[in-house]
Amino acid sequence: MKLLFTTILLLSFTILSAVTTVDPVTGPKVIFQEQSSSIDEEMSELNDLNQLIIDNKYTYDELRLNHAESVDAVNLSAEEEGILDSHPDSPLGVGGFWWGFVLGWVGMLIVYLSMDEGEGRKEQVKNALYGCLIATAFWVVLWVAVIAAAT
């Protein structure tokens, strides 16, 4: 239990020191603070657009037709694919994420070998990699919790 506590403490300190710097004149400063105003501005634009959609019950096409400049400002697109979406050429019609999540590196290999060369294969193999990494992180956290509970 002491070892687990020490590991968590050291990991927390490492992460905290990675995102902060100390300036001798002004003191500690968070690295990402400079970007917070641009993030706030973008979130404000998204909130305004969201309120516009709610008030007028727009579909994407109606929004694009009536407020094209706002849609372009926030880079909205109906063509975006999510990590869980499959490609028409995907093996068995199952997206790459699920191949990687369930079968790990074997699923990545199946996706890579079974799809035709092109942008679709590249995207699905990347999704399989994300699935593999998420499944691995899930199992590591689960095992750490089980071992911590047992000791």
> What does the domain layout of the chain look like in residue ranges?
20-80, 91-150
Q: Are 136 and 104 in contact (CB under 8 A)?
A: yes
Read off the pTM.
0.48
CA distance 91 to 111: 7
Q: How does 79-110 read in b/e, with b if 16+ C-beta sit within 10 Å? A: eeeeeeebbeebbeeebbbbbbbebbeebbeb
- Segment 59-79, tens digit of pLDDT: 777 877 887 777 777 766 656
* Residue 63, amino acid: L
User: Does the pLDDT value for residue 130 go beyond 80?
Assistant: yes
Burial class (CB in 10 A: 0-12, 13-18, 19+), 124: buried
Tell which wins on pLDDT, 71 or 22.
71
CA distance 47 to 58: 15
